[in-house]
Amino acid sequence: MMQVQITGTMVLQIVVSGLLAGGLYALVALGLSLIFGVMRVINLAHGALLMLGAYTTYWLFALFGLNPFLSLLVSVPMLFVVGAVLQKLFVHRVVEAPELSSLLLTFGISIFIANVAMLAWSSDYRSVEFLTGSFILGQIAVSKPRLISFVAALGLTGLAFLLLHRTKIGKAIRATSQHRDVAQICGINVRRIDVITFGLGAGLAGAGGSLVSTMFAVYPEMGLIYVFKSFLVIALGGAGNYPGAFFGGLLLGLVEGLASLFLTAQLSEVIAYIFLVIVLLVRPAGLLGGRT
Amino acid sequence: MPEGHILEVREVTKRFGGVTAVNHCSLAVQPGKIYGLIGPNGSGKTTLFNCITGLDRRDEGEIRFKDERIDGLKPHQVACRGIGRTFQIIRVFPELTALENLLVVSRKGGLAGNCQRAMELLEFVKLDRLQNEYAGNLSYGQQKLLEFIRVLMTDPELILLDEPAAGVNPTLLNDLLGAIRKLRVQGKTVLIVEHDMKVVMGLCEMVFVLDYGEKIAEGPPEVIQANERVMEAYFGR
């Protein structure tokens, strides 16, 4: 077997790439975490919503040549509406039900959306050939779409935190996730908060999809892997802990990257899950614990 | 219907499975007074509070606030009609700052007005220096005060306090009692669930006694204290 010397530059390259991937995980996981925090609903349809965001970007690019990063302005509001409608029609029925009900419901929704997508657009892999190539920074290369996606993901995550902390609706969302019944006593219409939160969560998933489409293939079941990764991120950061979702995302990207460097790319996914098991054994509430 | 009742609970019953937590309970509350609601553990006091505020849906009976039925309303609608409450176990929002705990309350008036009101209340209980501290980092007593002023944000006409004196040291207790009396001077109506008989006797003009979900007595505190059924409910035969 060929022995490869691991250099400092390689490690730096991997750390940068890992963090870039992690920013995207953080964005998608924050959406899932928001929904879970407020409603205690585990949204298995999160990946399907991400896929819808990706197709939105793909079609806007394929048909009209719209810049995929600008298409965020379409995909995020559109997925917000899709999420809000799903909440109003279906999810509200399982909000205070046992968790199995919400798992089954959102699993069903996810299968439905993925199959409609297959019927409508076939299972072909499609790609958005917009940006290729890399920026060279000193000794390391950073892929252009990844860097821009990372910046966009960071910006959107920042906007989401601004919304949560600076606006009245955001404070009401946080209050509802901390004490649902007390929030009601304070005059907060939690049903309305649920609708807005599911819309926001779906919007973040859609944004994730748009960004993913600039780097990877777009197909009806592309979202699945991101649901799993989001679970990992949330378990790392603590369920319903919003800053935890952010740091958990970056951490996951980093761990995957380092594992692929020191072991093999195939093993890196396994390593992420092993890492999860260790974290759950040592700190069951997540690395940051608690809820925010 | 008798005139001038701000709150009327008529024949309200609430069951949880086979357990009847509140049983054909009726109370009439006049505005501008401080009422006590006492009874042994498990006698249905908190459940009755939950029925009034809409957190539990009553199975039978009627609840009227200012002559309008509120028993079918959602909790946030009840809150917006002008009923505020605290909880037996403190429930501030731990990951919101003290100020945010107040601002999150749904209230008419713009952001500036809400901020001003919140700051006044924080000053009222001397928590203004801690406005940007997360509520979860405040001491027990400070959290209790914060929860209390959160109720006052909307300026509710009827205030339900669930065991305000529980776990409170004597200094803080005096502050709280003073604040409650001040509410009465402002014309508010207060209904207090309380175990500490000294607090009840010193504060309330009228006392209702619950036992096994039924109202077994009502009257001024001195009369209640001498009531045999009440003694029986508390101490057994």
Reported as a single tens digit per residue, the pLDDT across B180-196 is 998 989 999 999 998 88
Q: Indicate whether A288 pLDDT > 70.
A: no
Q: Indicate whether A103 pLDDT > 60.
A: yes
Q: Per the domain annotation, does B1 fall within a domain?
A: no
Q: Per the domain annotation, does B206 fall within a domain?
A: yes
* CA–CA gap between residue B208 and residue B215 (Å, rounded): 7
> If one looks up domain A18-282 in CATH, what number appears?
1.10.3470
Best residue in B88, B104, B134 for a mutation probing chain A (most A CBs within 10 Å): B104
Residue in chain B closest to A189 (alpha carbons) equals B76
Residue in chain A closest to B115 (alpha carbons) equals A168
Which pTM was predicted?
A: 0.89
Q: What would the pLDDT profile of B147-170 be if each residue is shown by its tens digit? A: 999 999 989 999 999 998 888 888
Task: Pick the range with the lowest mean pLDDT from A238-242, B55-59, B181-185.
Answer: A238-242
From A235's Cα to the closest Cα of chain B, the distance in A is 19
Is the CA virtual torsion A275, A277, A280, A281 positive or negative? negative
Q: Say what the ipTM of the complex is.
A: 0.86
What's the whole-number mean pLDDT along residues B174-181? 89
Number of domains in chain B: 1
* CA–CA gap between residue A22 and residue A254 (Å, rounded): 7
| A:B CB pairs within 8 Å | 70
Q: What would the pLDDT profile of A112-129 be if each residue is shown by its tens digit? A: 999 999 999 999 999 998
Best residue in A96, A164, A185 for a mutation probing chain B (most B CBs within 10 Å): A185
Residue in chain B closest to A177 (alpha carbons) equals B93
Domain ranges of chain A: 18-282
The CATH number for B43's domain is 3.40.50.300
* CA–CA gap between residue B205 and residue B108 (Å, rounded): 32
pLDDT averaged over every residue in chain A: 90
From A199's Cα to the closest Cα of chain B, the distance in A is 20
Q: DSSP letter string over B25-37?
A: EEEEE-TT-EEEE
Identify the domain containing residue B219 by its residue range: 7-235
**Contact residues, chain B to chain A, C-beta under 8 Å:** 53-55, 74-76, 79-80, 84-85, 87, 91, 93-96, 100-101, 103-107, 111, 150, 153-154
Q: What would the pLDDT profile of A182-198 be if each residue is shown by its tens digit? A: 999 999 999 999 999 99
Q: Per the domain annotation, does B193 fall within a domain?
A: yes
Task: Kindly provide the residue ranges of all beta strands, DSSP E only, lying in chain A, ordered along the sequence.
Answer: 134-137, 140-143
